[in-house]
Chains A and B, each alone.
Chain A
Amino acid sequence: MASRLSLVQGALPVFAALAILLLVWQFGAALLEIPTYILPRPAEIVATAITKSGLLGDALYVTLVEAVAGFLIGAAAGILLAVLMMLAPPVEAVLMPVAIVINAVPSVAFVPLVLLWFGLGMASKIAIGALAVVFVVLLNLLAGLKRPEVEAINLMRSFGAGPLGILFRLRFPAAMPQLVTGLRVGLARSTIAVIVAEMMGAYSGIGQVIYQATGQVDYLTVWAAVFVAMLGSLALYGVLVAIDRKLVWWR
């Protein structure tokens, strides 16, 4: 009961800020007589989203499945690589250069390659989503794992803790905040990467809807698709926040 009350209190400022934003937008756009093709009113966007809900819903489903699959694969790979590098320094020496070189390239530059390799279906979107996540998680987690002080590590060692004990009892808890940051940034990146890839070539998905609507100069549908994509990503983010609360409950 108490937690439900605090949840409502937590959500209140967001709704207030959103309401103010939308009112300013709606009436500001009307007052300044901004034409629809430059900036449609929120009410028009929502109306379009509702009339095209069938098309947009199907597209959103495809995009979210791709983004979540990419995110999970990328995050798992990032965590695994970070643990491996922490436990085996030679692995870090070999793989870190490759990770640095690949990470220096923005993931959108890989979109053409991924499309040519995996085709226009879902596989190419999942691959690009995973690629967008893996290095953020790896670099954040590795930085977090290296944070504990040498004294604390030596103390645990003197009590007979092995490398695995130190990793899971000391380093992992210390690295949680950084891991959470990495996951949050990664989730946003994977959704964007998936939509970018869909815009360059796909059979379905939000990006594909946006690409077609842009071609038909139907900007209301573009805005509606963006709005729906935002709702979807917000839901994903909510799930992630709920998971982090469970992960870092001791803070």
Chain B
Amino acid sequence: MNLSALARSPYASVVYVAVAWLVLVPLFSISPRYLPPLGTVIADARSVWPDLVAGFWRTLVETVLGFVAGTILGVGFGIAFAYSRLLERALFPIFVALQTVPVIAFGAIVVIWFGNTIMAKVVIALYLAFFPVAVNTLRGLELADPQRIALMRSFGASRLQLFLKLSLPTALPNILIGMKLAVALSIAGAVVGEWFGDTVGLGVMLLQALYFEQIPRVWVLIIACGLLGTLLYGVLAILERRYVWWRPD
């Protein structure tokens, strides 16, 4: 990798932002109420390191389980909607409405349903991750060129062959867009799920930081959530580069 490619990579963005943070805070004498100096934030992170690691790990597990389950469900419904107009017309608006249901409103109820277990957070993460994947799968499948469909049909391709060889490959880049959106949402689901009675996790620490108005701690947790998101996003990007290198046309 040459220097200019390295300078453009997302990893470099972290460095740019860190440098900007180091330079801009003293330069404009930004109040610590808005943005404390990077050093203060790092010192705060070190003071709670074991809790932070345990919380990170716990939230990561909840997020990944919810994300994977949500993606599978989302792709399934996206395909069903693409192949059944009736199903799309009947269920899509309901899903949109359900999507706007603030699941966290049900935090207490979800805990009654699933107990105060990891399952409650996974369900909330799944619920939030599902929708963007379904929407993008549907849009992606609709992109398949009708002329190519007609061509493949004229050669006697079955519906399954059309789907596997044309529609699905055309839709995959879009499905990945949906999955990238879903990653951030499933982290949000896991974090918010933890607000309802748990003792370990980034969400728990975030709630405590708000109550005690510890702004450096809030920034530590924002960075931790960002790292979690970047980690999962990075894994997706690697998978994309290896398996879905083409673009829809």
Interface residues of A (CB under 8 A from B): 10, 13-14, 16-18, 21, 37-38, 93, 96-98, 100-113, 115-117, 136, 140, 143, 147, 149, 177, 181, 184-185, 188-189, 191-192, 195-196, 199-200, 206-207, 210, 214, 219, 222, 225-226, 229-230, 233-234, 237
Contacts and interface: CB of A to CB of B under 8 A. Distances in A.
A230 B184 CA distance: 22
Interface stretch (B47-55, B94-102, B115-123, B154-162): B94-102
Contacts of B105: 195, 199, 207, 210, 214, 222, 225-226, 229
A-B pairs, top 5 by smallest CB distance, nearest first, are: A97-B13, A233-B100, A13-B90, A106-B188, A112-B210
B132 interface: yes
B136 interface: yes
Interface in B96-143: 96-102, 104-109, 112-113, 128, 131-132, 135-136, 139
Given A14-B90, A104-B184, A226 B206 contact: no
A230 B100 contact: yes
Contacts of A108: 188, 191-192
B22 to A, nearest CB: 15
B163 interface: no
B184 A188 contact: no
Contacts of B107: 214
Nearest to B15: A97
Contacts of A107: 184, 188
Contacts of A237: 93, 96-97, 100
B102 A103 contact: no
B226 interface: yes
27 contacts: A13-B86, A13-B89, A17-B91, A97-B10, A97-B12, A98-B20, A100-B10, A104-B184, A104-B233, A105-B184, A105-B229, A106-B187, A107-B188, A113-B215, A113-B219, A115-B210, A185-B132, A188-B131, A189-B185, A192-B102, A200-B210, A210-B105, A226-B102, A229-B101, A230-B97, A233-B100, A234-B97
Contact of A184 (B97, B98, B135, B229): B135
A7 B59 CA distance: 45
A229 B103 CA distance: 12
B218 interface: yes
A114 to B, nearest CB: 10
Contacts of A103: 184, 229
A168 B155 CA distance: 39
Contacts of B20: 98
Contacts, number: 164
Contacts of A136: 181
A192 B100 contact: yes
A130 to B, nearest CB: 16
Contacts of B113: 38
Nearest to B190: A106
Residue in A108, A149, A225 whose Cβ sees the most chain B Cβ within 10 Å? A108
A98 B206 CA distance: 22
Given A97-B10, A97-B12, A98-B17, A113 B222 contact: yes
Given A101-B13, A222-B106, A116 B215 contact: yes
Given A105-B222, A234-B96, A97 B108 contact: no
